[in-house]
Amino acid sequence: MKILIINGPNLNMLGIREPDIYGKKTYSDLVELIESHAKSINIDVECFQSNHEGYIVDKIQQAYGNTDGIVINPGAYTHTSVAILDALKSVGIPSVEVHISDVDSREEFRKTSYVSLYCFKRITGKGFDGYLEAINEIATLK
Ligand code: CA2
């Protein structure tokens, strides 16, 4: 089974500022954690991060036919991007939405999520562990 992990804008800056919201660990720490968990349950993962909406759309389209699941934290594009929602719909790959912070208890604008209209599950406020839970959810679809 192959799972694609997509992280959107500014997630490459994790650990640099706002540790009270996003923790002290870096994006590299996140990738290491995900890869080690995936290995332990015998799943192939690819981690992808981009600050650009179109590159995220391209990556989702490229997953068509070769990927069993997508774990996506679209960052700020969560709250704005119909293009990412449509890309997920176009490939039809089972997907889980993840947010490190508890988006629903923050600013009003963070409560809107376009990708949630497609994803079969939404995990928020569990820090990096949310990604592992999302991988496990997809693994149960085998
Ligand atoms: O909680 C999440 O995972 C978010 O998707 C993170 C996004 C934010 O725009 C979403 O509303 C919720 C932000 C990504 C990281 O932004 C940083 C900001 C300051 C320092 C480091 C990272």
| 123-129 mean pLDDT | 98
Give 26-48 pLDDT, tens digit per residue: 999 999 999 999 999 999 999 99
Nearest CA to ligand 1 atom 2: 99
Task: State the Cα–Cα distance between residues 124 and 54, nearest whole angstrom.
Answer: 24
For the chain, the structural domain boundaries read 2-139
Give 54-111 pLDDT, tens digit per residue: 999 999 999 999 999 999 999 999 999 999 999 999 999 999 999 999 999 999 999 9
Distance 10 CA to ligand 1 centre (A): 6
Give 56-68 pLDDT, tens digit per residue: 999 999 999 999 9
pLDDT of residue 69: 98
CATH H-level, domain 2-139: superfamily: Dehydroquinase, class II (3.40.50.9100)
Q: Is the CB of 6 under 6 A from ligand 1?
A: no
pLDDT of residue 17: 86
Task: State the Cα–Cα distance between residues 42 and 79, nearest whole angstrom.
Answer: 33
Q: Is the CB of 123 under 6 A from ligand 1?
A: no
Distance 8 CA to ligand 1 centre (A): 9
Distance 20 CA to ligand 1 centre (A): 12
- What band does 142 get if pLDDT is binned at 50, 70 and 90? confident
Q: Is the CB of 21 under 6 A from ligand 1?
A: no
pLDDT of residue 4: 99
